Structure 1
């Protein structure tokens, strides 16, 4: 049975926690082994894929011995009370490679996605305070860039990009819930303005910022935000704003704005 006191964290620098605190995970390549296994927890990762992830410029001549050494050291940290000759429960050698036998709820990225799904369900149901709490809890799991230990290894880059996109979706859902709940719109404006400046072509962020500005009586600034997004989309992507953003802009110009956020579908 898997030890129930281990927590694996990849939403930032790799970390593994036990009931006693963080585990020492060793040098960079040893940490890269564990990061590569966490790309597919509970699945066998072949030695060829592990080698590619750990030595992107080409493996050393003693690659098998080096990989075995890293795995052995990790096993001693992850399962210090394991029997010397017994089958390891956490990091196991299989016929086709290695397997990290970890349940999804023990990996912070999996918990993040679960909390995001729960928060969006609550948002769609109109349960805004609960949605805010779920989404805030999911964002609190982030400590930095995911899978940094694997550098430019393509599968890790793809997964990190996917997680960063989900993080942005979480922010958008959180501020949507905050606006619908009608809490401190001044704080929402400040946070959305900072995010929108970082992602100038992300229309949903711009839409939410324009709504928040109108909620606090700053329609002129909302109009400026629209034109800034329109210019960014034209310059970077060669497209016009989408229908939803154009419709909101028209309502503002016609002074028809009614501060009601349309929840995600």
Structure 2
């Protein structure tokens, strides 16, 4: 396999090499590659590929069309392979097709690896390094994952999992930033936007309250708590969690919350 290929699904599907992006063809051909990238290195049956490409039901020539899409993708992924040679990257197997790609060649895997590393650094209180690694993981995102597969259920589930991890990464990043004592004004602005977008995400609200207290805006921090309390009650039928309630109590007692990020 060429050492320079990178497969990117955290946004519009793309494959790039040192010479630039590869042309991947029409939408259904891109859907074939996206479906294979749901399970890199594993055999994906033709039935699953057909379902991913034609969710409303395959046409009569589905098998021939699938073979054609695979053939065109092979020529792009491994242009030096002779017509009679066995492709090393996109191979036909008795049960279907396999995209023989190491997981680290896929941006989603690199994102998860960086997230894991960033969390480890955060636990070790190495905040500047954690912030740098977590930002690098978020920089891999260019848009919605697996967008080429539409409502194909396995892709929807995997995209939801990755989006949840992205939110967890944002929370870890701002925890590192606040613990490091960086630009609290910027933190307030960024966290306010995130908390407004994800109003039931208590951790984002917790971080926003800490940042507000760091710039002596305790009254606004109290307002954030009350907004979250109302929202989770209306939408989820529950009270805020223990951590958020504890932080709220500290603010009411006029206690410092500057080290709160370090006490999880």
Instruction: Tell me which interval the TM-score lies in, with the shorter structure as reference length.
Output: over 0.9
CA RMSD after TM alignment = 0.9
Q: Which residue of 2 aligns with 1:101?
A: 100
Q: CA deviation at 1:264?
A: 8.2
Question: In 2, Cα distance between the equivalents of 1:59 and 1:263?
Answer: 54
Q: Which residue of 1 aligns with 2:9?
A: 10
Question: In 2, Cα distance between the equivalents of 1:194 and 1:107?
Answer: 30
Q: CA deviation at 1:261?
A: 3.3
Say if 2:29 and 2:70, in contact at 8 Å, map to a contact too.
yes
The answer to whether residue 121 in structure 2 is matched with residue 126 in structure 1 is no
Question: In 1, Cα distance between the equivalents of 2:119 and 2:84?
Answer: 47
Unaligned stretches of 5+ residues in structure 1: none
How many aligned residue pairs are there? 264
1:236-251 → structure 2 map (5 Å cutoff): 236-251=235-250
Q: Which residue of 1 aligns with 2:178?
A: 179
Say if 1:203 and 1:245, in contact at 8 Å, map to a contact too.
yes
The CA deviation string for residues 37-64 of structure 1, in whole angstroms up to 9 with x for no partner, is 0001010000000001110000010111
Q: TM-score, normalised by structure 1?
A: 0.98
Q: Which residue of 1 aligns with 2:161?
A: 162
The answer to whether residue 38 in structure 2 is matched with residue 43 in structure 1 is no
Q: Which residue of 2 aligns with 1:64?
A: 63
Say if 1:112 and 1:141, in contact at 8 Å, map to a contact too.
yes
Say if 1:44 and 1:96, in contact at 8 Å, map to a contact too.
yes
**Aligned to 2:188, what secondary structure does the other structure show?**
helix
The CA deviation string for residues 151-170 of structure 1, in whole angstroms up to 9 with x for no partner, is 00000000000000000000
1:172-251 → structure 2 map (5 Å cutoff): 172-251=171-250
Q: CA deviation at 1:258?
A: 3.0
1:85-100 → structure 2 map (5 Å cutoff): 85-100=84-99
Q: Which residue of 2 aligns with 1:83?
A: 82
**Aligned to 1:45, what secondary structure does the other structure show?**
strand
Q: TM-score, normalised by structure 2?
A: 0.98
Question: In 2, Cα distance between the equivalents of 1:31 and 1:178?
Answer: 38
Distance verdict in 2 for CA 1:137–1:207, change over 3 Å = same
**Aligned to 2:86, what secondary structure does the other structure show?**
coil
Consecutive aligned runs of 4 or more in structure 1 exceeding 2 Å deviation: 261-265
**Aligned to 1:262, what secondary structure does the other structure show?**
helix
The CA deviation string for residues 93-115 of structure 1, in whole angstroms up to 9 with x for no partner, is 01100000111111000000000
